Amino acid sequence: MRNRFAETFYEIAKRDDRQCMIVADISPAGSMAKFRDEYPRRFVNTGVAEQVMIGLAAGMSQRGLRPFAYTIATFALYRPFEMIRDDLCYQNLPVTVVGIGGGVSYSTLGATHHAQEDVAIAMSVPNLRVLAPTDPLEVEAMTRWCATQEDGPVYLRLGKAGEPDLTADLEEPWKFGKVRTLRRGSSHCIVTYGVITKLALAVAQALESRGCSTSVVTVPTLRPLDRTGLIDILSSHSSVSVVEECVSRALGIEVEAMAHRAGLAGKVSKFSLKDEFIHCYGAHDEILAAHGLTVERILAELLEIV
């Protein structure tokens, strides 16, 4: 995702000199280095100083530029949170805050580098649109959208590297504010977003092999939520589960509340990161497992329901 973001940004910025990249001491992966070398004036590294990264981006956008502020998700969103809230969201400026390694992607680096609450937090700030791409193809579409939209700030939550393309076969392109159906079934639906979609697909496959026709729907736009799309899903399946790489107060709780309001309560089960800090180091899937997010556990729980 990281490289696709950099490639796409480079292609856009080559033709649009309003596009700028403000980073806070993060190594410029892939095409980011090319952008820095070819357009050094539009690439600013504030150093280990994330508050000024956001404030600078705010000021630049007020004077007609279109900056991206880019670093590891915890440092992009948490450290300068009040700058994101006041400078970007309150002033409603078209700046994209890019968080690399959303969730627990930085699996060996410990909780200081785990953006395990990022989506829940970002979803609560007025004016902030929240995007979490399913795969590198969506990263490309979203980066183009972020660079050209004029409406206000965006939090773009990326994974890290090596994510597979999962949406290549879909007929409809990614559209802001719309859910996407990756796999269509009739009985159960798994609703998910971001890097963990791969795991959701594996769960769906396993359910299917046990005779449960299963849909997988991604919600790449976490804010604003596609309420119509989600209500359709709740209405057209006998049960729905939400699988997310975030603490429990993000998409799952929203879908549950939506179901309750629509008279469809009791249909929704939720699988999220634990609401706790875990002291565990390893591969990404090992950290997810430590949070209880494995195909086996989710499958076992869903088999009790479906």
Partner 1 sequence: MPRRLSTDSPTPNPEERCRAYRRRILEISQQVTALHIAPAFSCTEIVDVVMNEFMSEAEPQDVFLMSKGHGCMILYVILAERGILSVDDLVDYCTPRGRLGAHPDFGVPGIAASTGSLGHGLSIAAGQAYAERLKGSTVRVFCVVSDGELQEGSTWEAVMTASNLALANLVVIVDNNDFSGLERMSTGHPAMYPITEKFAAFGWSVSECDGHDHQKLRRALGAADGRRPHVVVASTVKGRGVSYMENENLWHYRSPNAAEFRQALTELGNPQP
Task: Tell which one of 13, 23, 55, 174 touches partner 1 (CB under 8 A).
Answer: 55
Question: Which amino acid, one-letter code, is at 30?
Answer: G
Query: What distance in Å separates the CA atoms of residue 5 and residue 98, rounded to the nearest whole number?
Result: 10
Q: Is 105 one of the binding residues for partner 1 (CB under 8 A)?
A: no
Query: What distance in Å separates the CA atoms of residue 300 and residue 282, rounded to the nearest whole number?
Result: 24
Task: Tell which one of 44, 200, 203, 258 touches partner 1 (CB under 8 A).
Answer: 44
Query: What distance in Å separates the CA atoms of residue 225 and residue 232, rounded to the nearest whole number?
Result: 13
Q: Is 216 one of the binding residues for partner 1 (CB under 8 A)?
A: no
Question: Which amino acid, one-letter code, is at 10?
Answer: Y
Q: Is 280 one of the binding residues for partner 1 (CB under 8 A)?
A: no
Q: Is 125 one of the binding residues for partner 1 (CB under 8 A)?
A: no
4-33 residues near partner 1, rule: CB under 8 A: 20
80 vs 133 by CB, closer to partner 1: 80
CA angle 276, 242, 218 (to 5 degrees): 120
Smallest separation (angstroms) from partner 1 to the CB of 183: 44
Smallest separation (angstroms) from partner 1 to the CB of 36: 15
Q: Is 38 one of the binding residues for partner 1 (CB under 8 A)?
A: no
50 vs 163 by CB, closer to partner 1: 50
Number of residues that bind partner 1 (CB under 8 A): 28
Task: Tell which one of 59, 110, 152, 185 touches partner 1 (CB under 8 A).
Answer: 59
Query: What distance in Å separates the CA atoms of residue 3 and residue 143, rounded to the nearest whole number?
Result: 12
Stretch that binds partner 1, among 84-92, 118-126, 136-144, 163-171 (CB under 8 A): 84-92
95 vs 240 by CB, closer to partner 1: 95
Contacts of 205 (CB under 8 A, 6+ apart): none
Query: What distance in Å separates the CA atoms of residue 44 and residue 112, rounded to the nearest whole number?
Result: 25
Q: Which helix or strand (DSSP H or E) is residue 222 part of?
A: strand 221-223
Stretch that binds partner 1, among 53-61, 111-119, 146-154, 195-203 (CB under 8 A): 53-61
Q: Is 63 one of the binding residues for partner 1 (CB under 8 A)?
A: yes
Smallest separation (angstroms) from partner 1 to the CB of 93: 8
Token digits of residue 70: 């880019």
Stretch that binds partner 1, among 62-70, 136-144, 190-198, 297-305 (CB under 8 A): 62-70
101, 72 Cβ separation under 8 angstroms? yes
Query: What distance in Å separates the CA atoms of residue 289 and residue 305, rounded to the nearest whole number?
Result: 21
255, 268 Cβ separation under 8 angstroms? yes
Query: What distance in Å separates the CA atoms of residue 217 and residue 242, rounded to the nearest whole number?
Result: 10
Stretch that binds partner 1, among 36-44, 197-205, 207-215, 250-258 (CB under 8 A): 36-44
251, 273 Cβ separation under 8 angstroms? no
Footprint on this chain of partner 1 (rule: CB under 8 A): 20, 41-42, 44, 46-47, 49, 51-52, 54-65, 67, 82-83, 86-87, 90-91
